[in-house]
Structure 1
Amino acid sequence: METQAEYRRSSRAIGWQVAAVCAALVLLGAGLALAYMFWQTRPAEVNGPPEPGSVRVFLDPADLVLGGVVVGLGAIVCAGAAAWLIARRAVRPLEEAARIQQRFVADASHELRTPLAVLNARLQQLALLTPADDPRREVVGALREDAGIMSGIVDDMLAAATGAAPQRGRCALAEVMTAAAADMTLLAEGRGVRIATSPVPREVALPAADLRRCLVALIDNAIDHAPAGSTVSVTAVAERAVARIAVADSGSGITGIDPARVFDRFAHGVPAGGIPGAGGSRTRFGIGLALVAELTERHGGAVRVARTGPAGTVFELVIPFADEGADR
């Protein structure tokens, strides 16, 4: 699994860093010891006449250097081995916790697939029983589409937990942006917020369902923190081989947390007024943004906070364009 491999890499990195510090200390100590011994090999009494019955012992500087090198290398090797073992023992509980978390996500995702499949089947049956001229048929169709998106999310969670390779694909950026904005229109209208989109007519190297989930999560986050009467803008710009999609709101900005950490799982901030849990400002970031970051990185993209402040926050999603000669 990727997470377990990251923990192993972290333990090795910690071991190397500790070993480097120990090596520097050993070399410093060995250097001081050698300097002292060299100084002692030429005492003033050597040049004087020998005293009756005295014994003189002379140390060869070359032997001193060799001995110091051997002792220093041995100490460095021992320090490195000890640092590696300590780092492995320190990281092992985290690795085990990550393994348990992945197992739980895999089990939960697997269990959710069955009720979602039943839900999809019932919605399909409901669609067949709804006449074509019935105004409720459009709502039933939207429900089927939402259920399909939920099934895709569960499949992605299961694939991520089991370490499966991401599903490759491509989609029309303009269509997905329009669909994502349509998904969030009812929620936006309920909060007195308008959604404006400005797409580009290009295809990106990301499955439509994955890009739609990323955009929905970012738009949902923007709506949640946008003041009533404002507009959440979703703008795409073509830049060489990538599309830069900006989701902007006019809220109070990110407060109480480093903007670089908003993509951490369960990251929390402090409201502008300093009262945790208060509304009206962008302060709480759940698992949604973390999933957006993981999903885009799996497909060679990236997401970041492009700007934040009292005038609002802009999230930027970077997605590579699909190759013109690639299969659809």
Structure 2
Amino acid sequence: MFRRAAVRIGVRVAVLCAVLVFAGAALVFGYVWWKATTGGGREVGDHHVLVSLDPVDLAVAAVVLGIAAILLAGAAATLIARRAALPLAESLRRQRNFVADASHELRTPLAVLHARVQQLDLLVGEDPRLRPVVTELREDSRILVDIVDDLLQTTAGTAGGEPPASLAETMVRVGGDLRVLAAERGVTLDVEPADALVTLPAVPLQRCLTALTDNAIGHTPAGGRVLLSATVNARWAAVRVTDQGAGIRGISPDRVFERFAHGPGADPAAGPTRSTHGIGLALVHDVVGRHGGTVAVERTGADGTTFLLRLPRAGTPGSGPAVTAGTR
């Protein structure tokens, strides 16, 4: 769709240029013809007329033609740009409507689910066999409700004002949640947190770390290891997610954060993988960019891949929005 739109824009610009050239040539020819037929020229032979052109008139005509061409080109370019932007605006509108509709439809059943989990929590009491599982289930349902609320706020443009998040606490929470998935694949998940407050609120930060870590688990063969680690300096917190997969294959690392762009997947010898549509890393790219961070593929090869997430520390000046791209 975008390629066809680009071709249409190119054709329209070419037609505009041709119209301006022919219009200019027609005006010059008309001016010379007018001078020759109104006594401004003299005959120098059969079928030949010598026309004298005043330099001042030529200068004035050039200025007038130039201004007219600029105004016409500006008006035509504005019209072309507006028509070209219509499909993009419609696509963005549909995307926002879909996210808002999906989030709204999920909100009620998730609220009901969370309420039932709280009821279950009361019924279980202090049973040592069920208490840990129910506690984790209650926390997971709360996270789902928070994610849906965050999506609704982002779509409505009301997101913002949330307090900074503790990087260490969020990393530990993500590690605890995803160790279940890692264990199903026979993968070890280790977490080495760093204590810092970052500008991302807790819910978006957890979404980003979950997406990157889940991606790493999905590309690591059984018996491998995924490391979620962090280091900090005065201004930035650097979070690295390292896997022991086969590296990024079938796609350039510069494209891994594009929507629906992904490689051939994990090695089949590593066992079945979860379905992916190339959206998770794109969401990380968008969320981190909105909060002034960067995300990139730091290293990839046959021994694994490392994603680097750089987040501004809370309270540090000069952290503007910026994103580095890459995909898997």
Q: TM-score, normalised by structure 2?
A: 0.77
Q: Specify which of 251, 254, 260 is matched with residue 257 of structure 1.
A: 251
**1:61 corresponds to 2:55:** yes
Contact 1:181 1:197 in 2 (8 A): yes
**1:144 corresponds to 2:144:** no
Q: In 2, Cα distance between the equivalents of 1:75 and 1:52? A: 37
Q: In 2, Cα distance between the equivalents of 1:310 and 1:284? A: 21
Q: CA 1:182/1:20 → structure 2, altered by over 3 Å: closer, same or farther? A: farther
Q: CA 1:262/1:291 → structure 2, altered by over 3 Å: closer, same or farther? A: same
Residue 244 (structure 1) aligns with: 238
Q: CA 1:53/1:314 → structure 2, altered by over 3 Å: closer, same or farther? A: closer
> Any idea what the Cα deviations from partners look like across 1:172-193, whole Å, max 9, x if unmatched?
2222111111111111111111
Contact 2:185 2:271 in 1 (8 A): no
Q: CA 1:225/1:272 → structure 2, altered by over 3 Å: closer, same or farther? A: closer
Q: CA 1:268/1:202 → structure 2, altered by over 3 Å: closer, same or farther? A: closer
Contact 1:269 1:283 in 2 (8 A): no
Residue 315 (structure 1) aligns with: 307
Contact 1:233 1:247 in 2 (8 A): yes
Q: CA 1:70/1:19 → structure 2, altered by over 3 Å: closer, same or farther? A: farther
The amino acid of 1:99's aligned partner reads R
> Any idea what the Cα deviations from partners look like across 1:97-156, whole Å, max 9, x if unmatched?
321221222122112111111111110010011121331111011111111111111112
Following TM superposition, by how much is the alpha carbon of 1:272 offset from its aligned partner in structure 2, in angstroms?
8.8
Q: In 2, Cα distance between the equivalents of 1:51 and 1:20? A: 41
Q: CA 1:280/1:137 → structure 2, altered by over 3 Å: closer, same or farther? A: closer
Q: In 2, Cα distance between the equivalents of 1:295 and 1:167? A: 15
Q: In 2, Cα distance between the equivalents of 1:21 and 1:311? A: 54
Following TM superposition, by how much is the alpha carbon of 1:215 offset from its aligned partner in structure 2, in angstroms?
0.9
Contact 2:219 2:265 in 1 (8 A): no
Q: In 2, Cα distance between the equivalents of 1:239 and 1:146? A: 32
- Correspondence list, 1:113-192, <5 A: 113-192=107-186
Q: CA 1:175/1:54 → structure 2, altered by over 3 Å: closer, same or farther? A: closer
Q: Is the deviation greater in 60-69 or in 231-240?
A: 60-69
Q: CA 1:101/1:54 → structure 2, altered by over 3 Å: closer, same or farther? A: closer
> Any idea what the Cα deviations from partners look like across 1:255-298, whole Å, max 9, x if unmatched?
2223232222222334599x9xx988999652211222222222
Residue 225 (structure 1) aligns with: 219
**1:91 corresponds to 2:111:** no
Contact 1:251 1:281 in 2 (8 A): no
5+ residue gaps, structure 2, are 29-43, 317-328
5+ residue gaps, structure 1, are 1-6, 35-49
Percent of paired sites with the same residue: 49
Following TM superposition, by how much is the alpha carbon of 1:242 offset from its aligned partner in structure 2, in angstroms?
0.9
- Correspondence list, 1:242-321, <5 A: 242-270=236-264, 286-321=278-313
Following TM superposition, by how much is the alpha carbon of 1:85 offset from its aligned partner in structure 2, in angstroms?
1.2
Q: CA 1:92/1:268 → structure 2, altered by over 3 Å: closer, same or farther? A: same
**1:80 corresponds to 2:74:** yes
> Any idea what the Cα deviations from partners look like across 1:55-80, whole Å, max 9, x if unmatched?
64311233223312321332232123
Q: In 1, Cα distance between the equivalents of 2:24 and 2:92? A: 42
Q: In 1, Cα distance between the equivalents of 2:157 and 2:171? A: 29
The amino acid of 1:215's aligned partner reads L
Q: Is the deviation greater in 175-184 or in 90-99?
A: 90-99
Following TM superposition, by how much is the alpha carbon of 1:26 offset from its aligned partner in structure 2, in angstroms?
6.5
**1:71 corresponds to 2:65:** yes
Q: Give SS of 1:184's match.
A: helix
Q: Give SS of 1:154's match.
A: helix
Q: CA 1:66/1:191 → structure 2, altered by over 3 Å: closer, same or farther? A: same
Q: In 1, Cα distance between the equivalents of 2:250 and 2:274? A: 9
Q: TM-score, normalised by structure 1?
A: 0.77
Counting matched residue pairs gives: 295
